Structures are given as C-alpha cells and as structure tokens.
Amino acid sequence: MTTLINGKEIAQNLRDSIKKEIEDLKSEIGKVPGLAVVQVGNVAASSIYVKAKTKSAKEVGIDVIDHHLPEKTTQEELLKIIQSLNNQDNVNGILVQLPLPKHINEQIILDSIHPNKDADGFHPLNVGKLSIASNNNENLLIPCTPYGCLIMLKGLGVELSGKNAVVIGRSNIIGKPMAQLLLKESCTVTIAHSKTKDIQNICQKADIIVAAVGVPKMVKGNWIQKDAIVIDVGINRIEVEIEGEIKNKLVGDVNFDEAKLIASAITPVPGGVGPMTIACLLRNTTMAFKNTLK
Ligand code: GUN
C-alpha cells in the first residue's frame, strides 16, 4: 500500500504546537514573536503567498508587520526599510517575498537582512551554517520548503541514513538546501538539474526522490524504483480539458497517477509540500524569537 503523505495534517500539527509554544511564551514573558512581511509590487502569486503567510502567522499568535510597497520602490528605499526592521526589537523575523522587481538586486536585499532575523534562511551566513553544522537542526534558520520536506520524510519513521537521495533542481531556495539537509541525515545525495545526463537512470537508483524543478509531471512512473519515497515540490498550473471545457489544474513535477502505483510513499499536489512551507516559516520566526531570549 502506498502511503499518501498528508502535508495538510502534518502542517496543522506543527502549527498547533507552535501556537501552544507562543501561548506559553506569552504567559511566561509577556511577549510574542513579530514577523515583518515585505512585498514589493503586485505579482499575483506573491500576493496569494503573502496573504496565506500573514493569515497563518496571525492564527498562531505571531504579530505581523505588513509592508506592501509599490512596484517602483527603489533598491535604496527597500534597503532603508530592511535596515529599520533590523533595528526594531519587536521584529524577530523578516520575510521579503521573492521574486523582487527586476530593478532590485535580490541577493543584495537578502544579504541586508540581519542573519538572526532571516525568517527564510536565505542569508549567506545561515546558508553556511546549514552546510557546516553537524548537530541537529535546533536553532538554525532553515529554508522553509526543504525543511518542510525533511519533516515529512522523518515523519514516515524510515531510516534515512545510507539512503540514495536524488534532488531534482538546484535552486538556492529549494534544491541546494534540500541536498544539505539530506546530507546531514547521512543520505548519499545526488543533485540532478537541467544539464544532467540520463536523469531517468539516476532517478531509478533513488530510494528518495525530491522533485523541485518546475516542469509539470516530469518524473514518470518508470523513473521510480519500487518502494521509493517521492516528495513533489512542484506547483504547476496547467490547462486540462474536463467534459469539453478547458480548466486550470495544479499539478506537481511528478506524474502522480503513475508514481503512486510504484512509490512506498508520495506527497500529493496540492496538499503535500505546500502547507509545510508556511508552517516552517512560523517555526523559523518562533525560533528567531527564542534565540533572542538566550
Ligand atoms: N518565493 C517563492 N518561494 C519563496 C519563499 O520560500 N520565500 C520567499 N521569501 N519568497 C519566495
């Protein structure tokens, strides 16, 4: 029987435990974590993500400081706002929603966020800490989507050590930190990407596949080894014909209908990795807050 990994439920449990932790902190010290959410411009997908992140943060008791800035905001203006958030004691986490408008250099902006307030775990110092730290992930600010994938993998209760893991995609946000997290679990990690030769053959040797490539249904059933675990990070909108009508449908990077017949466990799209990303953002913000109390 294939296990359908229920990201919605795992994320709900994580949010519940964060909410309880924040309630306890509030009654002990009278303070709650604060998260600044910065959006520049009006990219539709970003607006949806920012709304969902804000709503979830408020639900667990995090104070949200919202900065929705016009598209024409200059890099200097944005840097000034981040500088000011870096200096505000009531702000423990800063999230700048990506992508930023073309005239702003994303890396300069990410570098300007104080590493202790880096709710996304994208600052070079936190990227470096993730690759160096040999301990568990306690205290680290870790990119939210890959951390969510790791929590789902660990929740399966299978030994990760020694497993062949293939990560498809090499982005700074997902692929690279995912590989680091799996390496820390003593997996043998391969990162496949657009220039990789014979990707199907590489995937066929994987005990764990994490697909984060942004190509709808790229990973076919015959790419997957019997009883492999498949984590699908892709969120792709495609058009399908249903009863003579063209409709939009969300699909992952994995051909789910084929893969579910072969994998031992698989995440659906939607309802798999997606909800975990936001839950891990709340975890990072709470972690950053707790780090200030030490
Ligand atoms: N854009 C797409 N994913 C993310 C994310 O995880 N964090 C931020 N800040 N922007 C994103």
Q: pLDDT tens digits, residue range 202-225?
A: 999 999 999 999 999 999 999 999
- Give nearest CA residue, ligand 1 atom 4: 98
pLDDT at 138: 82
Domain tally, the chain: 2
Among 54, 109, 120, 149, which is best to mutate for testing ligand 1, by the most ligand atoms less than 8 A from CB?
A: 120
Q: Is residue 91 part of a domain?
A: yes
**Ligand 1 touching residue 96 (CB < 6 A):** yes
Tell me if residue 120 is catalytic: yes
Atom of ligand 1 nearest to the CA of 99: 1
Gap from CA of 143 to ligand 1 centroid (Å): 9
Do 174 and 260 lie in one domain? The reply is yes
Same domain for 152 and 245, yes or no, is yes
Residue 292 lies in a domain: no
- The answer to whether residues 181 and 231 belong to one domain is yes
pLDDT in tens, 139-168: 899 999 999 999 999 999 999 999 999 999
pTM of the predicted model, to two decimals?
0.96
What pLDDT sits at residue 283? 98
Which one of the listed residues 117, 118, 120, 176 is annotated catalytic? 120
The answer to whether residues 170 and 106 belong to one domain is no
**For residue 190, what are the domain limits?**
143-274
Look up 107 and say whether it is catalytic: no
Confirm or reject: Cβ of 144 under 6 Å from ligand 1.
yes
Whether ligand 1 lies within 6 angstroms of the CB of 278 is answered as no
Active site residue 53: yes
Atom of ligand 1 nearest to the CA of 144: 6
3-state secondary structure the chain: CCEECCHHHHHHHHHHHHHHHHHHHHHHHCCCCEEEEEEECCCHHHHHHHHHHHHHHHHCCCEEEEEEECCCCCHHHHHHHHHHHHCCCCCCEEEECCCCCCCCCHHHHHHHCCHHHECCCCCHHHHHHHHHCCCCCCCCCCCHHHHHHHHHHHHCCCCCCCCEEEEECCCCCCHHHHHHHHHHCCCEEEEECCCCCCHHHHHCCCCEEEECCCCCCCECHHHCCCCCEEEECCCEEEEEEECCEEEEEEECCECHHHHCCCCCEECCCCCCHHHHHHHHHHHHHHHHHHHHCC
Within a domain: 51: yes
Query: In the chain, which residues have pLDDT < 70?
Result: none
Q: Specify the ligand 1 atom closest to the Cα of 96.
A: 9
pLDDT recorded at residue 98: 97
Q: What is the pLDDT of residue 219?
A: 98
